[in-house]
């Protein structure tokens, strides 16, 4: 796998679209390209962020935050 092919696979990887049999090849290439590969994968996560940011924000129930914070405080006390 050359680096351009790795880049294509990395974009699929970050959105969870690599098939199982492709993952081992991808991981092998990831080790081969080392830090350069890691840097590119990090940049690819902007795709995930962009897909989430492309959606119109949805309003959550007001009770959710209250319940969440109560759980967090209980967890801290425990």
Could you identify the residue written with the tokens 């119109």? 56
- Residue numbers 14-73 binding other proteins by CB under 8 A: 14-20, 38, 42-61, 64-65, 67-69, 71-73
The phi-psi region of residue 34 (left if phi > 0; otherwise alpha if psi is between -120 and 50; otherwise beta) is left
Closest listed residue to residue 40, CA positions, set 73, 69, 71, 3:
3
User: Could you say which of 2, 34, 76, 78 contacts other proteins (CB under 8 A)?
Assistant: 76
Q: How far is the CB of 66 from other proteins (least distance, A)?
A: 10
Nearer residue to other proteins within complex by CB, 28 or 70: 70
**Quick one: which of 35, 12, 42 has its CA closest to 25?**
12
Binding positions for other proteins, rule: CB under 8 A: 7-8, 11-12, 14-20, 38, 42-61, 64-65, 67-69, 71-73, 75-76
């Amino acid at each position: 796998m050359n680096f351009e092919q790795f880049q294509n696979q990395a974009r699929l990887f970050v959105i969870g679209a690599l098939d199982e049999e492709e993952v081992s090849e991808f991981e092998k290439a990831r080790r081969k390209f080392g830090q350069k590969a890691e840097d590119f994968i990090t940049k690819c996560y902007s795709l995930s962020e962009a897909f989430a940011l492309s959606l119109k924000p949805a309003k959550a129930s007001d009770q959710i935050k209250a319940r969440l914070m109560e759980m967090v405080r209980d967890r801290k006390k425990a």
